[in-house]
Amino acid sequence: MTHQQRLLIGLLCGLVAGAFWGGVFLAPELLAAFTPLQMTAGRYLCYGLASAVLLAPSARKVLGRLTLADWRDLAGLSLLGNIVYYVGLAVSVQIAGVAPASLIIGLLPVTITLVGAKPGEGVPLRKLAAPLLLVAAGVVCINLAAFQTAGGVSPGRLSLGLLAAAGALAVWTVYAVWNARRLAATPRFTSHEWSLLTGVVTGLLSLLLIVPAFAQGRAHAQGDWLLFGGVSLAVALGASVIGNGLWNAASRLLPLSLSGQLIVFETLFALLYGFLHEGRWPHPLETAAIVLMLAGVLWSVHLHRPPAEAHPAQ
């Protein structure tokens, strides 16, 4: 596979993964009657079951290749990148709203690139400074817009919601870098197999959440439970099974100096879904943020193109 093919396929995988992941921000809005811990348990139980079913035909062969180090890393990655991250995200969305949560987590392209970039891999950080500044400026614009349109959210609650989002940002940064390094060092598993293994382990870990999540929960109508099951299954299949699988593929095809910035698509799709859910157009600052983020990631893509294609002969 040529460099150009790897770039195009990796970009497409990152884009579609972002489209699926963006819906995660809307789920807590739809399931406002449930707690973040209940939503986390529901989503990842469904993720674990779906992954187990998809892995079943090749389970003996795949599980036979697992080492103790693989199990250890899968447990750590599942805990950080799925359970802890989603609890933080759900708390943030329910307290502060979709836009404030997505604005903080929108910094992932910057944090992943800064933490994960390695000398000699991809494009040097000094060349990515300007694109990263554009992405950061976009996040600032959404931040300002979020505080202007916070509505009935008190400054204290908004600050608490942003703090939860910052925690989610930190753990997913660690997850993204760790997972990319692990994929590069584990060629015996395909991206899809690694995603399914992560799902199975996440499902097992989510069993520990059932009692604390539902033991003292308030009563819900049958319709609420049907919505809970439907949204949990949709997020599990779309964001976790499909989205994570595509992200693993992008992580293998692209250097972290670029793949990390493709998280921009998650933020952009989260904003789009939020606007559709609220039935409104983006405000001027939100529009500016979208333009700045897109400009930053497209600039970075251009910098990662092969020299012969970035500067064709005249």
Per-residue pLDDT of 63-82, as tens digits, reads: 999 999 999 999 999 999 99
Q: Where are the alpha helices (DSSP H) in 31-154?
A: 36-55, 59-64, 68-78, 85-96, 98-105, 108-116, 125-148
Task: Kindly tell me if the per-residue pLDDT of 206 is higher than 90.
Answer: yes
* Best CA proximity match to 13, nearest among 309, 199, 258, 189: 258
Q: pTM score > 0.85 for this model?
A: no
What average pLDDT does range 86-99 have in this prediction? 82
Is the pLDDT at 13 greater than 90? The verdict is yes
Q: What share of the chain has pLDDT > 70, as a percent? A: 91
Residue type, 249: A
Q: What does the block give as tokens for 184?
A: 């590069």
- Using CB atoms within 10 A of its CB, is residue 215 exposed (0-12), middle (13-18) or buried (19+)? exposed
Q: Determine what percent of the chain is predicted with pLDDT higher than 90.
A: 32
pLDDT tens for 215-270 read 866 778 888 899 999 999 999 999 888 998 898 899 888 887 788 778 888 888 88
d(CA 185, CA 193) in angstroms, rounded, equals 14
Model pLDDT, residue 312: 47
Q: Which pLDDT belongs to residue 150?
A: 56
> How confident is residue 153, by pLDDT bands cut at 50, 70 and 90?
low
User: Is a pLDDT exceeding 90 seen at residue 96?
Assistant: no
Please say if the pLDDT value at position 170 is more than 70.
yes
Q: For the packed helices 3-22 and 284-304, what is the interaxial angle rounded to 10 degrees?
A: 160
